[in-house]
């Protein structure tokens, strides 16, 4: 049973726990440092925390079950770039073969104890089979010629932010890339294929080119694993056939946003946090809402009870919304340093703290 919420922020990692009827900050780690993402592995109780020190690079820390102390472990590292290799991204810029952000952390299959996946900028996917002691770059994806079509969206360089390990088989893995579409392997990473067909970013030339798509976040329904949701730069998309093709869904008050969560058993139920649009990344009308569909995207309800409805300029990043394993409890953190929890599927929210640093990610643990 998940009893904690790990909140990764610009200036530390905060652990929330239940206190009385509500939630409260129980502990803080890495105070002052930029914690970009955390992961709890329920298979063995391990916690992971990814840090971006800026000057000193990307670091990864681990806390084993029952321990109080975090220990720095190996961070995913890119191999030596072959001398003379011309390696450009989709913008024509040279690709720097160095880890610039750990943007996704996920565990492997239930029987793959110790296996952890990491998505990074500038687009490398890594796997560790020993709890982060060593990391292996997925060369098959990194050396794929279409990687040179990938490009930075909001960031300057491309990156992998979503990793879905299929509950039917851990050899089936899908990753979403900003901007590079969705890539899928069915053989544990030996081969990869583009899987963003049907997504489109507008009406311009090449708008439906899969490699140019900017999925902001992708989630897979555990109970109906052939079904996926993507909050895309240009709207909301869903797939009901293993990502073979995607169809667009329209939501009010806006289809623009970063975060998405899907119910663990019912793929028709999903949550989003809308902003106005790309150039105006703030809530519509200064009123923060979470939108929820229960019918696969035919209709959406704006959930606002407990959320600020005046002068709210919170943005919820792609990892800033998380649903617990029961499908009832949601945690949400914003760039304004607000963290809320809902224990009734988003119908009502309670503010846990309004004074945290900007929130990168929330996760149940």
Residues at the interface with another protein (CB under 8 A): 10, 53-57, 59, 72, 75, 77-81, 96-99
Token couple for 347: 């119908």
For another protein, the closer of residues 78 and 313 by Cβ is 78
Specify the residue, 52 or 213, whose C-beta has the smaller distance to another protein. Answer: 52
Q: Work out how close the CB of 76 gets to another protein at its nearest, in angstroms, rounded to a whole number.
A: 9
Secondary structure element (H or E) that encloses residue 139, with its range: helix 139-142
Q: How far is the CB of 54 from another protein (least distance, A)?
A: 6
Q: How far apart are CA 312 and CA 332, in angstroms?
A: 14
Please report how close the Cβ of residue 72 comes to another protein at its closest, in angstroms: 7
SS3 345: coil
Contact 287, 271 (CB under 8 A): no
The CB-of-258 to another protein minimum distance in angstroms stands at: 21
For the record, the structure tokens of 124 come out as 């490398």
Cβ–Cβ < 8 Å for 22, 348: no
Residue 223 CB, nearest approach to another protein (Å): 39
CB of 81 to another protein, least distance (A): 6
Task: CB nearer to another protein: give 59 or 161.
Answer: 59
Helix (H/G/I), strand (E/B), else coil: 212: helix
> Locate tokens 């160095």: which residue?
98
Nearer to another protein, 156 or 325 (CB): 156
Q: Which is nearer to another protein, 51 or 262 (CB)?
A: 51
- Give 280's contacts (C-beta < 8 A, 6+ positions apart): none
Q: Which is nearer to another protein, 2 or 98 (CB)?
A: 98
- The CA–CA distances, whole Å, from 97 to 82, 122, 123, 143 equal 10, 7, 10, 12
CA distance 235 to 232: 5
Q: Which residues contact 135 (CB under 8 A, 6 or more apart)?
A: 74, 75, 76, 77, 118, 126, 127, 128
């Amino acid at each position: 049973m998940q009893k904690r919420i790990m909140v990764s922020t610009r200036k530390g990692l905060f652990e929330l726990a239940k206190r009385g009827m509500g939630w409260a900050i129980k502990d803080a780690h890495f105070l002052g440092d930029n914690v970009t993402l955390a992961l709890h592995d329920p298979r063995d109780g391990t916690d992971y925390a990814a840090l971006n020190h800026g000057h000193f690079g990307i670091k990864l820390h681990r806390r084993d079950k029952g321990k109080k102390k975090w220990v720095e472990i190996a961070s995913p590292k890119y191999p030596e770039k072959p001398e003379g290799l011309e390696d450009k991204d989709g913008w024509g810029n040279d690709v720097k073969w160095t880890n610039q952000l750990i943007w996704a952390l996920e565990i492997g299959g239930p029987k793959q104890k110790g296996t952890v996946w990491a998505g990074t900028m500038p687009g490398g996917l890594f796997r560790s089979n020993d709890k982060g002691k060593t990391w292996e770059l997925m060369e098959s994806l990194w050396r794929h010629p279409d990687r040179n079509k990938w490009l930075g969206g909001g960031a300057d360089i491309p990156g992998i932010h979503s990793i879905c390990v299929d509950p039917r088989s851990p050899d089936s893995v899908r990753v979403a890339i900003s901007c590079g579409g969705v890539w899928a392997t069915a053989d544990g990473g030996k081969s990869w294929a583009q899987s963003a067909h049907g997504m489109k970013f507008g009406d311009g030339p090449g708008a439906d080119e899969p490699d140019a798509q900017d999925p902001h976040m992708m989630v897979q329904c555990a109970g109906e694993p052939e079904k996926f949701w993507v909050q895309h730069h240009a709207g909301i998309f869903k797939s009901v056939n293993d990502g073979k093709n995607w169809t667009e869904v329209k939501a009010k008050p806006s289809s623009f946003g970063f975060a998405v969560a899907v119910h663990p058993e019912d793929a028709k139920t999903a949550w989003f946090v809308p902003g106005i649009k790309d150039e105006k990344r703030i809530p519509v009308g200064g009123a923060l809402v979470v939108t929820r569909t229960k019918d696969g995207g035919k209709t959406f309800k704006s959930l606002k009870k407990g959320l600020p409805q005046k002068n709210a300029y919170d943005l919820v990043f792609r990892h800033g919304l998380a649903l617990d394993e029961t499908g009832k409890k949601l945690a949400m953190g914003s760039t304004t340093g607000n963290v809320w929890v809902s224990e009734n599927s988003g119908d009502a929210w309670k503010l846990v703290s309004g004074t945290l640093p900007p929130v990168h990610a929330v996760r149940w643990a």
